[in-house]
Each structure stands twice: as structure tokens, then as C-alpha cells.
Amino acid sequence: MIESRSLQPEDLEIRTLGPCRVDSPLASDVSASGSISDHFIHAAEFVRDEHRILVEDRIDRLMETPLVALPAFESAGPRRKIFFDPKKVRVGIVTCGGLCPGLNDVVRGLVMELYYRYGVRSVAGFRYGYEGFIPKFGHDVMQLTPDNVKSIHETGGTILGTSRGNQSKPEIVDCLERMNINILFTIGGDGTQRGAKEISEELARRGGKIAVVGIPKTIDNDLMFIDKSFGFETAVHVAYHAVQCAHTEAEAAIHGVGLVKLMGRDSGWIACHTALATSLANFVLIPEVPFQLHGPKGFLPCLQSRLRHRRHACIIVSEGAGQDLITGETGRDASGNAKYKDIGLFLKQQIKDHLTAEGMEHTIKYIDPSYMIRSVPATPNDSLYCLRLAQAAVHAAMSGRTEMVVGRWREKFVHVPISLSTCGRKTVDPEGDLWLSVLENTGQPAVFE
């Protein structure tokens, strides 16, 4: 994993397909749809290549590095000159991996920006993830137009369908070349974007002039060098209500325990933010902070003490927490990720066994809202974020940028090399201010040992 302090300016450079010689239609006083408008974008609003966003924002760290060597991201946004002629461009869009709130919002945003702002008329939606490029699966290609995407943001899921699994990159590139695709937008998490990088590398080997631009999707919010992934805010919103229900159930019972398992394979972002938003959780367990169940300062004795004094408790646990406590092998999923053992059911049984052994009357209510979180429509703020990501992705692709994802850094939209965004997992710092806020809010011990 690369840390921000070790980055060099060259690590943040974005690969391009060539010089931009085409005037952007966004500067015209005639819109792409043919209607007269006041200038879409004034000259001052075009982004120049020298516009950069610093990686670091702490002055003590900035002072350690000469100005010319400060690493900075390329700013996202429309360019005055673009690489592709919009009238000749053919675009492909694919959604991969698990469902996530906002997928349809991103698809809609891409189509609308391409059609109405750049005048692109050919947009193909590849069905069921990277399988959609492979002939043996037989999936149809969906032609995407403003008419058939105009309302899709009102529902969850993805109009294109999705799948997991590693598909042949040469076969994917063969498909792109057969269909004369010029731009491919990949909407998905780190596995999807690693696949996009391999597609881009295969294209480079063939000398292909196809832009590959990713829109990063992960509910867990764990992509590196991106402030927030789309879907994360909606996930916290739905999880908020699950924790409220668990707390209500726990409070109504004698020695009631409300246990909520939230998504977060390697990072506890959802758990931490939900705990702070509700202020109802008494214990938060995340992958970044190991814990012990037994012993004088273990989790189970602490829970028992809480129940004796307060008669109820609410627990939030991330799906990746406590994996070292559960025995057994689980294998890997279609994407090659290790299948995690069910910490929620395991913890429920451990709590039951411990309290029963201690002769303590109790009730445990267990809630796992994972699929409710994945499948709901995006919240308004998340939907807004999806639209802006889609617009930034179109601007980047039309200017010939490739092998990159769009994201937000320091509240600015930027271009991030795929290799950088997938170099590791963004995790909660056990010594950082977010985890400190959780400890202060819950009152739980810093360590269960």
C-alpha cells in the first residue's frame, strides 16, 4: 500500500491517448441537441492541465518538500480541446461486482452528459458485468438513450445487470474493437478497476486508441486516495435505521442485546459513521481493531457488565471484524476475494453461550441489513454525487484520458490513476480522530483484551 507521504509527482500522472486537437462543443453557443443557449461554459471555466490538487494539506508536511516536487492530482472537468470527435464516438458502459446504491444514477449521468453536452449518439450498455463482452455468455448489448435512462435513478440496482468474476481481457478488447468502441466506462470497485487497468494495458499492447475511465464503486468506502465512494452515504442512511430498530428492541427487554452486522470487509467506515450518526451503539467492532472475547477485559465480560448496570446494549460489528476468532476455511468468491466467516452469527452465539453460562436472563435481536443496503435507491446527496462523478468521467474520457478513475479529494473532483486507487485498502486509523470519536461516543474500552 502506498502512503501519501511517499508519493512522487510522477505517480499521479494520467496517461493520455494523444494530443487534443478537437474544439469542445461545450464552448459553442449552439447546444449539442441543436437548441440555442447562452455559452455552456465560459473560457474561465475550462480546466487547464496545470490545475492540480495537492495530495497533502498539512502545512508541516508540505514544508518538508520542495514546491516543484509536491505530488498533486490532475483536476477533473471540461477541457477546451478534446481528443475525440463527438460525432464519431462510440461509447460502452459496464457495471460490475455487487449491487450498490447509485449505479443507475451513474449510468444515467453518463448517458445524459454524453448526449446533451457532447452530442454523442452511440452508447452501448454491456450486460452483466465483464461477461457482457464474452461471446460464450450470449448477453445482449443494450443501446442506451436519454429516453430509456431518464427515470432509472428512481430505482435501485442497475439497468445493465452485474456479475463477478475474472474474464479474458484479450476477448474483452476483441469485442471493443469489433464494435468500434472508442470509450469504455467501467463502474465498479477495486476488482473492476484492476480489470479495467488490464484492459487498458492490453489496448496499449495492440496500439488501440480506446479510453478506459472508471467510476469507483464500493459501499465500504475503502478505495485509496478517494474521499468518498458513491453508495457509502446511502449505506449509512439505511444502516442508521437498522441500528435504531436494534436499540429499540434491546431497550424493551430485560438484559436485551441488539446486534447489527454491517458491511465492511476490511474497513469499518460504515460501522463508525453509523455509530456516530445514531449515538445509540454501546460497542463498535471493526476489522482494524482486533479484540478478544474472554479474559477480564474481554468483550463478553464488558458486555455483561454493561447489561448489569444499564439492562440493555446495542452492538455494531463490521463483517470483517474478528475473523481470527472463527475457525474453519471458507474459500474464495468468483472475484477471487476470500469469503469471510459470518462474524454476526458467531458473535450472537458467543453472547448467548456466555450469558447463559453466567445465569443471566437475556434476549438477543440480530439484524443483518446488508441486502437492504445494497439494493435501495441512492439518497439525494448520493444521487447528486453520482451525477457529478459521471460528468467528470465524461469530460476526462472525451479529452483522451485513460487508465484512470474519477474521484473526490479534498472536496475537489480529480483524476486518479487506477494503479493508485487500487494499491491497497483505505482503512480506519485506530489512532485517528474518527475512531477516537467512536470511543468517546460509545464509552467502550479502547481495547478488549
Catalytic site residues?
220
- Nearest Cα to 261, choosing from 243, 245, 234? 243
Residue 57 grid coordinates: 494539506
* CB contact set of 204 (below 8 Å; sequence gap of 6+): none
Q: In DSSP terms, which residues pair with 215 in a beta bridge?
A: 187
d(CA 266, CA 250) in angstroms, rounded, equals 28
Q: Which residues of 425-443 are buried (b: 16+ CB within 10 A; e: fewer)?
A: bbbbebeeeebeebeebbe
Sign of CA dihedral 339, 341, 343, 345: positive
> Could you tell me where the DSSP H helices lie in 218-341?
232-251, 269-278, 299-310
Measured CA distances, 346 to 57, 72, 249, 377 (Å)? 42, 45, 20, 31
List the grid coordinates of 63. 514544508
Q: What is the DSSP string of 177-219?
A: HHTT--EEEEEESHHHHHHHHHHHHHHHHHT---EEEEEEB-T
Q: Is residue 23 a contact partner of residue 84, using CB atoms and an 8 Å limit?
A: no
Rounded CA-CA distance 55/248 in Å is 43
User: Hey, which residues does 415 pair with through a beta bridge?
Assistant: 74, 406
Q: What cell numbers appear for 247 in the block?
A: 436499540
